[in-house]
């Protein structure tokens, strides 16, 4: 009966013990509450009202069907994302180990012991053999968590688990953005390759016409050599863009984790449906929902809990060990009447002198907490700069694209005039040559500017932490707790 009383009292004390961890206080945000006036109101007109990034699902943000299929492949097969998912499972297991320390470890043991007693130790002066058999239900050393040491360690493990979930969400957002940017880069390079191939064919035709004119004594040798040089320049560009397209395909295949199907390859940048525009919102507090910032905050909370565990080390530690069972010198009488036995062994450990180890551990835990605060603030500052950089580029890229389109139109009209004047014998071929180079450069520049404009939308969407990738991570109450449902490697695909 006494055994049951002690165990019951111990369980009540353990459940109602205090915690020495300091109350968690979220650090003040080290950034302004709003963006700059110019950046905040610079929304690109895409024919629809810009939406807040956290409100747009990634499939809505990337409307191109082939790009969506490529992103789906990456979410299923990317190895880095698999590692992030496995890290969650590992953190879940570690949390389960730490949480189990709150409950007693109960086991069944059966022991058979045979001991020979020599003549010198025997009361009868004759040697004999003594046998003892024991079967019991025992409780291993179970710490009564009076000062919250075990609970603080459990809380730290739980926050580390949350951090791995946020890390996976951050990895997923980064993966989607990386796939989209790589897909757009491949589309731009394939369009540039087509432009270079068209230019090469045009240059070949011009060279052939000048060569024929040279045979009739109309064109000069200089015109012929200049046309030949243009052909070789175009060949160099074709070879260069062919290599870039191959490299783009390899990079995209690595991201998606499988060979890229030919039917999903983009034709040109113009053939890809542009990603939607997003708005930065009215407050920079939206950044606090970015998964990398939530991950830094969860780690900070874990460090805060570690302070409680370090403080508890200064106080007594009480452990209970007990067992109940039967014992007999005869195996047949093991379960007979009067064979019952029990033991109860509470152990109290009070630290008196540890050589400063406990104080050093507490100091280290406090320093870790300060490091965590700095890391959390740095994560917010980095996120704020990323968004401001993207917003600063958004308006300038839009203006640059409009100016580049006007430049292409102007240079194209100039080329037509120079070509007509050369064919009419008014001007030399040099004017046509200069106009061709200018037109080709302007067209390639337009492809690059359009790519930069679309890539900026992708980056802005990423740095604002947008889409349904964040829906389960908006606050800690929505984060899946360990043991509720095991995360699979393909979870969260969309």
Question: Is position 346 within any domain?
Answer: no
List Cβ neighbours of 16 (8 Å cut-off, separation of 6 or more).
none
- Please give the Cα distance from 225 to 229 (Å, whole number): 6
Question: Is position 345 within any domain?
Answer: no
For residues 226-247, give the mean pLDDT.
Answer: 89
**pLDDT tens digits, residue range 140-181?**
777 777 788 888 888 888 898 989 988 888 888 888 999 999
Question: Is position 343 within any domain?
Answer: no
pLDDT of residue 169: 86
For residues 290-302, give the mean pLDDT.
Answer: 90
Q: At what angle do helices 65-77 and 149-215 cross, to 10 degrees?
A: 140
Question: Is position 111 within any domain?
Answer: no
Which tokens belong to 297? 């905050």
Question: Is position 341 within any domain?
Answer: no
Cross-strand bridge partners of residue 108: 137
Alpha carbon 485 to chain centroid, angstroms: 21
Question: Is position 333 within any domain?
Answer: no
**pLDDT tens digits, residue range 5-37?**
444 444 544 455 577 888 888 888 787 776 654
Which tokens belong to 260? 């890229």
- Asked if the model's pLDDT at residue 406 lies above 90, the reply is yes
Q: Is 156 left (phi over 0), alpha (psi -120 to 50) or beta?
A: alpha
Percent of the chain at pLDDT > 70 equals: 81
- Asked if the model's pLDDT at residue 260 lies above 60, the reply is yes
- Asked if the model's pLDDT at residue 282 lies above 60, the reply is no
Backbone angles phi, psi at 260, to 5 degrees: -75, 120
Task: Find tokens 């998964």 and name the residue.
Answer: 291
Alpha carbon 216 to chain centroid, angstroms: 68
Residue spans of alpha helices (H) in 31-131: 37-40, 58-61, 65-77, 79-99
**pLDDT tens digits, residue range 318-351?**
777 877 777 766 666 667 676 777 777 777 887 8
- Please give the Cα distance from 74 to 81 (Å, whole number): 9
Cross-strand bridge partners of residue 327: 134
- Please give the Cα distance from 77 to 490 (Å, whole number): 8
Give me the DSSP letters along 364-377.
Answer: HHHHHHHHHHHHHH
Q: Give the three-class secondary structure for 325.
A: strand
For residue 242, the enclosing domain spans 2-103+145-315+351-478
Neighbours of 77 (CB within 10 A): 15
- Asked if the model's pLDDT at residue 486 lies above 60, the reply is no
Provide the CB-side half-sphere exposure for 196 (13 A, CA). 23
b/e map of 378-398 (b: 16 or more CB within 10 Å)? ebbeebbebbbebbbbbeebb
pTM of the entire predicted model? 0.77
Question: Is position 115 within any domain?
Answer: no
Contact 21, 155 (CB under 8 A): yes
Which tokens belong to 229? 């040089």
Contact 291, 167 (CB under 8 A): yes
- Please give the Cα distance from 320 to 284 (Å, whole number): 52
Backbone angles phi, psi at 137, to 5 degrees: -105, 120
Instruction: Give the strand pairing for 128-144 and 317-328.
Output: antiparallel
For residues 93-104, give the mean pLDDT.
Answer: 77
Provide the CB-side half-sphere exposure for 425 (13 A, CA). 4
Neighbours of 443 (CB within 10 A): 20
Which tokens belong to 61? 């943000």
List Cβ neighbours of 412 (8 Å cut-off, separation of 6 or more).
439, 442
pLDDT of residue 338: 66
- Please give the Cα distance from 101 to 75 (Å, whole number): 36
Beta strands across the sheet bearing 317-328:
106-117, 128-144, 317-328, 340-349
For residues 76-82, give the mean pLDDT.
Answer: 87
pLDDT of residue 34: 67
Task: Find tokens 């067992």 and name the residue.
Answer: 323
CATH of the domain at 377: 1.20.1600.10
Domains: count for the chain: 1
Among 338, 330, 346, CA closest to 134: 330
The 8-class DSSP code of residue 284 comes to G
Among 199, 200, 181, 170, CA closest to 81: 170
Which tokens belong to 152? 């603080």
Question: Is position 123 within any domain?
Answer: no
- Please give the Cα distance from 485 to 482 (Å, whole number): 7
For residues 194-198, give the mean pLDDT.
Answer: 91
């Amino acid at each position: 009966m006494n055994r049951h009383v002690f165990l019951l009292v111990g369980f009540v004390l353990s459940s109602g013990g205090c915690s020495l961890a300091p109350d968690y206080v979220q650090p003040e945000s080290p950034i302004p509450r709003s963006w700059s006036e110019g950046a905040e109101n610079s929304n690109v007109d895409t024919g629809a009202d810009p939406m807040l990034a956290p409100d747009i699902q990634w499939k809505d943000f990337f409307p191109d069907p082939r790009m969506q299929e490529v992103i789906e492949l990456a979410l299923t097969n990317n190895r880095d994302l698999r590692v992030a998912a496995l890290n969650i499972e590992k953190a879940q297991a570690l949390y389960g180990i730490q949480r189990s320390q709150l409950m007693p470890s109960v086991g069944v043991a059966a022991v058979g012991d045979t001991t020979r007693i020599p003549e010198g130790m025997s009361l009868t002066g004759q040697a004999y053999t003594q046998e003892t058999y024991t079967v019991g239900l025992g409780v291993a050393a179970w710490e009564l968590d009076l000062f919250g040491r075990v609970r603080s360690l459990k809380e730290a493990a739980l926050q580390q688990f949350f951090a791995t979930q946020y890390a996976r969400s951050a990895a997923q957002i980064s993966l989607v953005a990386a796939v989209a940017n790589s897909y757009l880069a491949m589309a731009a390079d394939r369009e540039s390759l087509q432009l270079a191939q068209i230019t090469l064919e045009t240059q070949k035709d011009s060279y052939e016409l000048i060569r024929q004119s040279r045979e009739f004594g109309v064109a000069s040798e200089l015109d012929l050599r200049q046309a030949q040089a243009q052909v070789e320049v175009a060949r160099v560009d074709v070879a260069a863009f062919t290599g870039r397209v191959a490299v783009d395909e390899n990079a995209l295949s690595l991201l998606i984790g499988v060979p890229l199907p030919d039917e999903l390859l983009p034709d040109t940048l113009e053939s890809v449906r542009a990603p939607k525009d997003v708005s930065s919102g009215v407050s920079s507090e939206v950044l606090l929902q970015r998964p990398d910032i939530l991950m830094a905050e969860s780690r900070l909370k874990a460090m805060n809990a570690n302070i409680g565990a370090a403080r508890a080390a200064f106080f007594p530690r009480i452990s209970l060990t007990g067992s109940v069972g039967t014992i007999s010198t005869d195996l047949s009488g093991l379960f007979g009447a009067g064979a019952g036995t029990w033991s109860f062994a509470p152990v109290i450990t009070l630290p008196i002198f540890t050589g400063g180890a406990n104080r050093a551990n507490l100091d280290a835990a406090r320093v870790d907490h300060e490091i965590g605060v700095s890391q959390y603030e740095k994560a917010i500052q980095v996120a704020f700069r990323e968004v401001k950089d993207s917003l600063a580029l958004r308006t300038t890229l839009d203006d640059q694209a409009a100016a580049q389109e006007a430049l292409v139109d102007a240079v194209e009209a100039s080329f037509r005039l120079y070509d007509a004047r050369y064919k009419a014998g008014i001007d030399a071929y040099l004017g046509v040559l200069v106009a061709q180079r200018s037109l080709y450069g302007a067209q390639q520049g337009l492809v690059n500017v359009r790519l930069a404009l679309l890539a900026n939308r992708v980056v802005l969407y990423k740095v604002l932490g947008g889409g349904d990738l964040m829906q389960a991570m908006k606050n800690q109450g929505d984060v899946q707790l360990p043991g509720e449902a095991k995360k699979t490697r393909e979870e969260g695909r969309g």
